[in-house]
Amino acid sequence: MAPSLDVFIEDLEGSERRAYGEAFGKLDLHGAGAVPPDCAALRSLILENSALKEAELDVELLKVGSLDEGGLSLPSLLQLLRDNAVADTAAIEEFLNSSSDGVTSTSVECRSRLLLVGESYLGAQFTEDQWDKILNAVMMDADVTIQLEQWLSYCNAVARIIRLVKFVF
């Protein structure tokens, strides 16, 4: 039985570990716990499930992969996907577009911008109820105003959920 959106929202890290871990296991042909950074299927997995571009991939793989251990481990893969779920430049641009002073934005504006990022940048297609569940969970701690750091965290969480849903379904 496939997991539901609710499971992804409630346990995002565990859901990512299960889904991407299964894919990683198929790439780790020798059961070594690491996949070489030049593995085409690994590279494709990362590029399809993150905001990274081909030109950035080698540098990012070198940052997280341990060549001593034979390549990228599952925890390193998960961290790479989590840290690059959404492009910082796009997220910052959307925040600045929603902010009147460049420092804060209203939570209402941020919520609508998260929907925009999800649909426009990531091609998400959820029902209104599904979007409400995602945005309510992600913005659970939101105050009336949101600062950039908080926005980036929300944006990243929404992107991670969207990417995981696309990967699993």
Q: Which of helix, strand or coil describes residue 70?
A: coil
pTM, two decimal places: 0.95
Q: pLDDT truncated to tens, each residue of the chain (169 aa)?
A: 668 999 999 999 999 999 999 999 999 988 999 999 999 999 999 999 999 999 999 999 988 876 677 789 999 999 999 999 999 999 999 999 999 999 999 999 999 999 999 999 999 999 999 999 999 999 999 999 999 999 999 999 999 999 999 999 9
Half-sphere exposure of 61 (CA within 13 A, CB side): 23
Class for the domain spanning 9-83: mainly alpha
Contacts of 110 (CB under 8 A, 6+ apart): 95, 98, 139, 142, 146, 151, 154
Is the Cβ–Cβ distance between 9 and 165 less than 8 Å? no
Residue linked to tokens 């029902």: 127
Whether the CB-CB separation of 35 and 24 falls below 8 Å is answered with yes
User: What is the pLDDT at residue 23?
Assistant: 98
| Dihedral sign of CA atoms 127, 131, 134, 137 in order | negative
Q: Within the chain, which residue ranges are assigned CATH 1.10.238?
A: 9-83, 88-168
CATH for the stretch 88-168:
1.10.238
Q: Are 126 and 134 in contact (CB under 8 A)?
A: yes
pLDDT for res 2:
66
